[in-house]
Amino acid sequence: MFKRLAKVLAVSAACLAAVPAAAQEPLKVGMVLEMSGGFADFGMQMMNGARAYMKVHGDTVAGRKVQLIVKDTTGVPDVAKRVAQELVTNDKVDFLAGFGLTPSALAVASLATEAKKPMIIMNAATSIITTRSPYIARVSFTLPQVTAPLATWAIRNGITKVYTLVSDFGPGIDAETQFKKTFTAAGGQIVGEVRTPMRNPEFAPFLQRMKDARPQAVFVFLPAGEQAVGFMKGFAERELDKAGIKLIATGDVTEDGVIEAMGDAPLGVITTQHYSVAHDSPQNRTFLKAYAEVAGTAQRANFMAVGAWDGMAAIYEVARRLGGKIDGDKAMEVLKGMKIDSPRGPVVIDPATRDPIETIYVRRVERLKDGKLYNVEFDQFPNVRDPTR
């Protein structure tokens, strides 16, 4: 009897060992994304960036089939919190990921801590986010990280009087604060500043005020997408450019996904950022090809799609290094110091802050031979960290 049982057990053990890897529980990535509302482009870019990664690198890692579970925050932090809770409790995800908007990332941080879930920030770019939970790692950027190099570039290029305009929430306030700090420390003067509402801003009155103040340049941060298109058109219509006022901005304002909708208005605008579609590298060509295959060619990829691609690269690497068994604490140890061979160039996750260290490029908007607008990189600041940490 015992002998028989022992034999049965031995056989079942052998069967277990022989279970094909892909038959294990899927590796679940809970994507908390803006899929509707005024920021719906963010979710679309990020979902397609993640899908493009899986198309090139396969949908199985460390013997587990990768499953993306996408939930819509509608752009509202309370909804982000609720859907993240569902992902943890009902779907039992291995990772939380996504997060286009800072308020959504902040709303979910405490949940990541309670549940010990690694939370991969693929865009949201206010500095403090990674301080809100030891389970957060960011693969994208921070606003101070891209803004400090722009202020330095402006001073080096003879710009000394600037008017600032930023969107009135986390990333905008970070951008404004850092621009003022770096610019005034180097002798620059801020001649006016304005914060515009996060949702549905009306730019006309602000543009007129800025024109009347006669600065040498206007510094702008607005969330990527529709708002940036509206601002750029207003800037040209009110003829600030003709009045000799330069526009310098973070790359959000001339992002690749919507720049074609801006007509000639952005030509010559100088921006700093971590990613441009025009970045010339084999990694970027692979990314763009895969992105077009999963998303079509109606809208180009932007930095948010790259953030999602790189976030998936980080998740795959964690899975490989942990042999497919995801433990929150061990995952964070793997993420600290991780190197990512990104379409934007090399990225390292700073082990001290869990924020990316990367090259920030200075770009000028140009129309290239194919007749389309691009952010053409012409200078760079290597190994930039968030300067506030």
Which residues, numbered 166-195, are part of the site for ligand PHB (CB under 6 A)? 170-171
Enumerate residues 6+ apart whose C-beta is below 8 A from 339.
346, 347, 348
CB of 223 to ligand PHB, least distance (A): 4
- Residue closer to ligand PHB by CB (options 95, 141) is 141
- Residue closer to ligand PHB by CB (options 34, 377) is 34
Rounded to whole angstroms, the Cα distance separating 377 from 365 reads: 9
Q: Which of 45, 102, 178, 273 binds ligand PHB (CB under 6 A)?
A: 102
Beta-bridge mates of residue 374: 366
CB of 126 to ligand PHB, least distance (A): 5
- Residue closer to ligand PHB by CB (options 66, 101) is 101
Q: Which of 40, 124, 236, 360 binds ligand PHB (CB under 6 A)?
A: 124
Query: What sections of the chain are H helices per DSSP?
Result: 2-18, 40-57, 77-89, 102-115, 143-156, 170-185, 204-213, 226-237, 282-295, 303-321, 328-335
Q: Are 217 and 244 in contact (CB under 8 A)?
A: no
Q: Which stretch binds ligand PHB (CB under 6 A): 50-58, 122-130, 175-183, 357-365?
A: 122-130
- Residue closer to ligand PHB by CB (options 51, 274) is 274
Sign of CA dihedral 234, 254, 97, 133: negative
- Residue closer to ligand PHB by CB (options 124, 318) is 124
Enumerate residues 6+ apart whose C-beta is below 8 A from 137.
118, 119, 120, 121, 130, 314, 332, 335, 336, 349, 354
Q: Which residue has the tokens 């529709």?
A: 226
Rounded to whole angstroms, the Cα distance separating 42 from 39 reads: 6
The SS3 call for residue 338 is coil
Q: Which of 41, 94, 176, 252 binds ligand PHB (CB under 6 A)?
A: 252
Dihedrals phi, psi of 236, to nearest 5 degrees: -75, -45
- Residue closer to ligand PHB by CB (options 83, 101) is 101
Q: Which two tokens stand for residue 201?
A: 């801003």
- Contact string (CB under 6 A) for ligand PHB, positions 194-223, x = contact: -----------------------------x
Q: Which of 70, 96, 109, 125 binds ligand PHB (CB under 6 A)?
A: 125
Q: Which stretch binds ligand PHB (CB under 6 A): 123-131, 156-164, 278-286, 330-338?
A: 123-131
CB of 196 to ligand PHB, least distance (A): 13
- Residue closer to ligand PHB by CB (options 252, 377) is 252
How buried is 269 (Cβ within 10 angstroms: 0-12 exposed, 13-18 middle, 19+ buried)?
Answer: buried
Q: Which stretch binds ligand PHB (CB under 6 A): 46-54, 90-98, 119-127, 131-139?
A: 119-127
Alpha carbon 307 to chain centroid distance?
5
- Residue 188: other Cβ atoms inside 10 A: 22
- Residue closer to ligand PHB by CB (options 170, 343) is 170
CB of 172 to ligand PHB, least distance (A): 9
224 binds ligand PHB (CB under 6 A): yes
101 binds ligand PHB (CB under 6 A): yes
CB of 171 to ligand PHB, least distance (A): 4
CB of 79 to ligand PHB, least distance (A): 15
Among 347, 379, 288, residue whose Cα is nearest residue 122? 347
Angle at 137 between CA 385 and CA 42, to 5 degrees: 90
Enumerate binding residues for ligand PHB (CB under 6 A).
101-102, 123-126, 170-171, 223-224, 252
